[in-house]
Each structure stands twice: as structure tokens, then as C-alpha cells.
Amino acid sequence: MRAAIYRALCRMLPRRVLLASMRRGRVAAPAPTAAGGCPRYASSTEVTSDEFRLKEYGQKYLGYRKAAFTESLEIVDPARDPAFPIYRVTDATGKIIDQAQDPKFSEEHALHMYRTMTQLNIMDRILYDSQRQGRISFYMTSFGEEGNHVGSAAALAPNDLVFGQYREVGVLMYRGFPLEQFMHQCYGNHCDIGKGKQMPVHYGSSEHNFVTISSPLTTQLPQAAGAAYAFKMRPGNDRIVCVYFGDGAASEGDAHAAFNFAATLKCPIIFFCRNNGYAISTPTSEQYGGDGIAGKGPGYGLHTIRTSEEVTQWGGIDNPIVRFKRYITERGWWNEEKEKAWQAEVRKKVLTNLTSSEKEKLAHYHEMFEGVYKTVPEHLRRQRAELDEHIKEYGSHYPVDRQLTN
């Protein structure tokens, strides 16, 4: 058996790949034959037909896909293939192009989507300003991407687990994460359910099935695949996982890991890539050479679609909020009067929460030692006591008045 694998590998693989396999103990080298080295390919009597060889090839190397032989020496030029088409439902004016594709949102559903997008937009403007004023240390807006947040969130069940990158605030907001919690997190005050440990916009909520954001890009992708697999293993499971990431993050090795694991282990997962054209300052032309991120999917055996969100031109004339507003206005569910009242209401709510969040104290510094492990181990208890002693004498040099007393 092992000798057969080795012979097959001799034919198929460059030597360094074979050596790597041996290093992992995947194949062992057989005893050398009388002629020495790798045996030649089987004699013509053993090879009965092309069909047999194609079948064997397909089963062994192509995951049961069928390949054909070709006698023309042709190297595939990816640039000659058409790019993935961009699926759209409405045109730039918000009109449905093919009536059969109308999702037929209910009024309540559509208004919840619109209100979430606009509330996020208003919160973004206010918090962005407050960062520039030095009131919070960091902020990241979702301008222009509100549509993909709420559109996808609306299509998920509330108990589907979401893993995000950091620009998926609309998903959490759509699920009803309290407005004040966004601000508590940005200030890291004692009301923050994340306990003030992370930078602003690193939200999370177990109640809303939204896994806490972390800064290292793409780490959430293989994790999402693992969570999806574990869901699949639960009896009677009806949950899936949706994981969001940007086009820049898709260049990380973890993206490759996740796509491949999800495909081979058949995980119930949606990979949702937000391709907005840039990773900080790097344009996509410096990020990848292929047909975007969607172009990678079939290579892993993943079902793939590209939607219009990926390539929309941003700005005042064409953004998801403007388009969706047209959609609900045409249906008589929204008007300028309602718009004005809603804008004023949200602005007031955000400003009120911002002010009250800012006034809340930080948790006591003892919180710093909590959650490293499930219970505080002995060495950390010693370090906590050491800090207590220090603060007792040098407390005046620390912002002790900003924290709760224990």
C-alpha cells in the first residue's frame, strides 16, 4: 500500500513535496527495487484505458471531479476568463430590475433595515468627531458599508453566530445591541460588558451571538469554520456561522486555512467578504492578481457569488442608504418628515448616551487581573497584591479617582 502511494507520488509530485510528505510521516519510502530508484510507470498491459486512468486520477487527486485529457499545450491565462458577474437587484435609482428577484420585504422589516443603517451612520459621525476631539482614543466608521451589514444580518437567523473583523457594527446594531453599549465600549467604562479591556469598536455580545472582535486580521476565519463544524455536530442543530472580513484580510494565511478547512470538513458557514477597494492605503491591484476574492472560492470547492455591494461607487449619489431610502419612499413607507424626525431622535439619543458614557467611572483596576484564566491563579493574586501595596503609597500618581472604589 505504502509502496503504491510512493510510486504514485514519484510520478506526480516534485521531489521537495514528496520529502515534505515524508517529513510528516505521511508516506514512507519503500525498499529500493532491483533497478534502483523509483519504478517506471506500469506496462501497457496494466493500463487498460484512458477512462481507467482518468477515473483513478479524478478519485485520487481531484476530489471525484472529472478531468479530460488534452493534446493541446495550453496554459490557462486567468485574465482571459470572464470575471465573476455582479449580482444586483436594483439599479442606481433604487428600481427593481427583475421583478422575480424582489425580496418583498415587509414594511416593518424594511424600516428596521433603514433605521439601523441611518442610526449607524449618525453614530459614526458623532463618534468619529469625538475621537478627533480626543474624547475617545480610537474610532473606525462604516461609511458606505451599512448596506452589506444590515442586508446580510436581515438574512440570518438571530441565533446564527457571527464572527466579524471590525467593520460590521451594523450587524450587531440590527440585532438590537443597546446603543449605550457601543459608547460604553468606546469609553471602556465600568458599564462596558467587555470590561474595558479592548480598544474602541472591538464589540462583542454573547446575547446577540456576535463573537467579540479582535485586532489581528483574519484570525476569526478558521475559528468560524471550527464553530460551524461544532454546530453541525450538535443533534438537531439549526444554526450556521457567518464570518465577515475585508479584501485585505483575505490575503492572510488564515483565509486560505479557513476556505480549505470549511470545504474539506463541510462546515455550514458563509464567508462574507467586504471588498471596498482598499486595505488602509493599499489598492486591490497591489493586494491580489486574480478575479477579486470571489475568484478564489471555486478553487477551494466553495459555492461563490459576487454581489453589487462589492463594486458600488461610493459618495452622496450612490450609497446603500440613499438607494434603500428611495426603495422605502416609493412604497409609501417613508417620507422627508419621518426622515427629519428620525434623524433628530437618533442624534439626540447618541449625544445623550455619549455624554453619560463619558461620565461613568472605569472599573476598579483589580478588573485587570480578571479573566486571564477562569479563576485568578496564585501568581496573579500575588501581583495584584503587589500593585495594591504600590497604590497605597503612590496612589496620587495614578488616575485612582477615575475608577470605582472596590
Q: Which residues bind another protein (CB under 8 A)?
A: 22-32, 161, 192-198, 202, 204-206, 211-212, 214, 216, 219, 221-231, 233-234, 253-254, 256-258, 260-261, 264-265, 370-374, 377-379
Residue closer to another protein (CB basis): 72 or 375: 375
Say if residues 223 and 153 touch (Cβ distance below 8 Å): no
CB of 26 to another protein, least distance (A): 6
CB of 301 to another protein, least distance (A): 12
Say if residues 402 and 228 touch (Cβ distance below 8 Å): no
Q: Which residues have CB under 8 Å from 314's CB, separation 6+?
A: 143, 144
Q: Is 36 exposed, middle or buried (0-12, 13-18, 19+ CB in 10 A)?
A: exposed
Residue closer to another protein (CB basis): 28 or 341: 28
Residue closer to another protein (CB basis): 28 or 67: 28
C-alpha cell at 24: 510528516
CB of 158 to another protein, least distance (A): 16
Ramachandran region, residue 389 (left: φ > 0; alpha: ψ -120 to 50; beta: rest): alpha
**Geometric angle at alpha carbon 14, from 58 and 18, rounded to 5°:** 85
CB of 170 to another protein, least distance (A): 20
Closest CA to 114 of 325, 315, 309, 318: 325
Residue closer to another protein (CB basis): 22 or 89: 22
Q: What's the CA gap between 67 and 262, in Å, rounded?
A: 23
Closest CA to 163 of 114, 208, 109, 115: 208
CB of 212 to another protein, least distance (A): 4
Report the number of secondary-structure helices (H) and strands (E) in the chain.
13, 6
Residue closer to another protein (CB basis): 32 or 103: 32
- What amino acid is encoded at 76 in this protein? V
Residue closer to another protein (CB basis): 258 or 350: 258
Q: What's the CA gap between 164 and 151, in Å, rounded?
A: 15
CB of 281 to another protein, least distance (A): 23
CB of 215 to another protein, least distance (A): 8
Residue closer to another protein (CB basis): 262 or 346: 262
